[in-house]
Amino acid sequence: MSYRHLFSRFLDTDPSRLHFAAHSHHPWPDVTYDAHLRWWEDAARAMDDKWEDFFASFVPRLRGKLGRLLNLGDGATIAFAPNTHELVNRVFSTLAIPIEVVTTTSEFHSFDRQLRRWEEAGWAKVTRVETEPFATFSERFLDQTVDADLIYLSQVFFDSGFVVVHLDDLVARFPNAATVIIDGYHSFMARPVDLGLIADRAFFVAGGYKYAMAGEGAAFMHCPPGRAERPVDTGWYAGFGALTDRVEETSYGSGGDRFWGATQDGSGLYRLEAVLGMLEANAITPAGIHEHVNHLQREFLARAPDLGDLLPPAEFERGSFVTFRRSDARDLYQRLHGQGVITDYRGDRLRIGFGIYHEPSDVARLISSL
String of DSSP letters for 209-276? SSTT---SS-EEEE--TTSS-S-SS--GGGGGGGTT---SS----SGGGGG--S---THHHHHHHHHH
**In this structure, CATH architecture of domain 34-280:** 3-Layer(aba) Sandwich (3.40)
φ, ψ at 10 (rounded to 5°): -75, -50
Q: What is the pTM of this model?
A: 0.96
Characterize the bridge pairing of strands 341-342 and 18-19: parallel
Phi, psi of 76 (to 5 degrees): -65, -15
Q: Residue 17: is it exposed, middle or buried by C-beta count within 10 angstroms (0-12/13-18/19+)?
A: exposed
Q: How far is CA 175 from the centre of its chain?
A: 25
CA–CA distance, 37 with 31 (Å, rounded to integer): 10
pLDDT tens-digit profile, the chain (370 residues)? 789 999 999 999 999 999 999 999 999 999 999 999 999 999 999 998 988 999 999 999 999 999 999 999 999 999 999 999 999 999 999 999 999 999 999 999 999 999 999 999 999 999 999 999 999 999 999 999 999 999 999 999 999 999 999 999 999 999 999 999 999 999 999 999 999 999 999 999 999 999 999 999 999 999 999 999 999 999 998 987 655 555 568 989 999 999 999 999 999 999 999 999 999 999 999 999 999 999 999 999 999 999 999 999 999 999 999 999 999 999 999 999 999 999 999 999 999 999 999 999 999 999 999 9
- Spell out the domain ranges in the chain: 4-22+285-369, 34-280
> CB-hemisphere CA count at 13 Å for 78?
28
The CATH H-level (homologous superfamily) assignment of domain 4-22+285-369 is Aspartate Aminotransferase, domain 1 (3.90.1150.10)
What is residue 45's three-state secondary structure?
Answer: helix
